[in-house]
Amino acid sequence: MTSMVENATSYIERAEEIKLLANDAFKANKFSQAIELYGQAIELNGLNAVYWANRAFAHTKLEEYGSAIQDATKAVELDPKYSKGYYRRGAAYLAMGKFKEALKDFQQVKKICPNDPDATKKLKECEKAVQKLRFEEAIAVQESERCSVADSIDFRCIDVEPQYTGARIEGEVVTLDFVKKMMEDFRNQKCLHKRYAYQIVLQAREMLRALPPLVDVTVPNGHHFTVCGDVHGQYFDLLNIFELNGLPSEENPYLFNGDFVDRGSFSVEVILTLFAVKCMCPTAMYLSRGNHESKSMNKIYGFEGEVRSKLSEMFVELFAEVFCCLPLAHLINGKIFVVHGGLFSVDGVKLSDIRTIDRFCEPPEEGLMCELLWSDPQPQPGRGPSKRGVGLSFGPDVTKKFLEENNLDLVVRSHEVKDEGYEIEHDGKLITVFSAPNYCDQMGNKGAFIRFAAPELKPDIVSFSAVPHPDVKPMAYANNFLRLFS
């Protein structure tokens, strides 16, 4: 009997030691390592609510909000009076834009800690967000009845003041000289005149709207093509990509695979640069929609606030409209399938199914379009729930089958931070590429891009480190309550 008690005690002590190691990993921003260590502590002592809540927090840091909610729920089941469990779950709900669920959790925190000023403040912010949401829902017009804001804008009527010294578009054509001058102005933190910003965004809209949901890209023999992953408003790292790999041109084309905006605080500069290059030379710049090219994400993660601050309210509506025109995937020489998120919850999806998706809408909560933007690979076979709480996780067998059925060689996707800027998975049949180094100024990761040269189309992956940027923190324009939690 004594030895059983001693065993239990030693498990509990060992779990505590591992928890301290996990805490250290967390403080060093090594969130994956922290998750693994908290998991080991849970295996030794699964009845300690603190371990579950701590692991939930680490999941939140990796944007794995689905897993965070599961862990925090376990914490409050183990200890219904544990305020941190509700707090962690509320924060994860907030990050997913689920304000009403978040509100319930913060009300619970306030009930348990009535005198905690921090809990009071966060509850107030959450109540404000829910009220605003209810108001927006009440006045929202059905998408089918909504007039296009783009059709109501005539940029030609906007005068440019004589004292404006920034980049100018002469007439209708966006030239390389204009793009270079605009990029240099942005580097020096100068703004582009609204007239030209409207002109670029409206022209880009026309081009994107004319494209199919799945764009076929042809790379002739002896030529190359570069694929970049998430840039997330990190403008100075975007400039560095162009310095390392050359400016986009017909001879040096790029595909940016979604998540151009949000989190980083130079999203306006990033999106105007990418759109301007698209206008200058449509075959120099291909753009795919990411899960962050959507109203719900932009409201929370900074793009909407940044657009209001640097441009105007009208531009908020305009960008939302243009994002709905972005294609969902690209096919390089009929062999390489490039998409922001990943594959599907059902077998048998053909390229022809993707070609018929009606994409001109905000991303739905389920179905093919949602999965293209949100899914992630997993190492084990089959399919599993998404750690993000949206989309799903798919295994190597799912990738293999999709490639075989569509006569493809490779899936390239983005959507996840990787230490080296990329990761090769699923028996070499799937590559993740992520192009925002030192993501959010705290992850310490490298960025990467992939060059494919025809005819072989072998992936040549280049990793790069972050470069300095002006002292504007990530999420500087993000929703107020979200900043409270970061």
C-alpha span between 243 and 149 (Å, rounded) = 36
Which among 59, 193, 232, 292 is annotated as catalytic? 292
The C-alpha angle with vertex 116 and arms to 115 and 118, in degrees rounded to 5, equals 145
The residues with which 477 forms a beta bridge, in sequence order, are: none
Distance of CA 115 to the CA centre of its chain: 37
Q: Omega before 468 cis (within 30°)?
A: no
299 within 8 A of 479, measured Cβ to Cβ: yes
User: What is the pairing mode between strands 285-287 and 383-385?
Assistant: unpaired
Residues 6+ apart with CB under 8 A from 299: 97, 479
Q: Mark the ranges of the chain whose per-residue pLDDT is less than 70.
A: 1-6, 141-145, 480-486
336 within 8 A of 360, measured Cβ to Cβ: no
What residue ranges define each of the domains in the chain, with the CATH number in brackets? 2-139 (1.25.40.10), 150-485 (3.60.21.10)
pLDDT in tens, 117-134: 888 888 888 888 788 878
- Catalytic annotation present for 330: no
pLDDT in tens, 83-100: 999 999 999 998 898 888
DSSP single-letter state for residue 459? E
54 within 8 A of 40, measured Cβ to Cβ: no
User: What is the pairing mode between strands 329-332 and 336-339?
Assistant: antiparallel
Mean pLDDT of the chain: 94
Q: What is the 3-state secondary structure (H, E, C) of 143-192?
A: HHHCCCCHHHCCHHHCCCCCCCCCCCCCCCCCCHHHHHHHHHHHHCCCCC
pLDDT in tens, 242-264: 999 999 999 999 999 999 999 99
- Looking at residue 117, its pLDDT comes to 86
| Helices assigned H by DSSP within 28-143 | 31-44, 49-61, 65-78, 83-95, 99-112, 117-139
- Looking at residue 143, its pLDDT comes to 60
- Looking at residue 85, its pLDDT comes to 96
pLDDT in tens, 285-332: 999 999 999 999 999 999 999 999 999 999 999 999 999 999 999 999
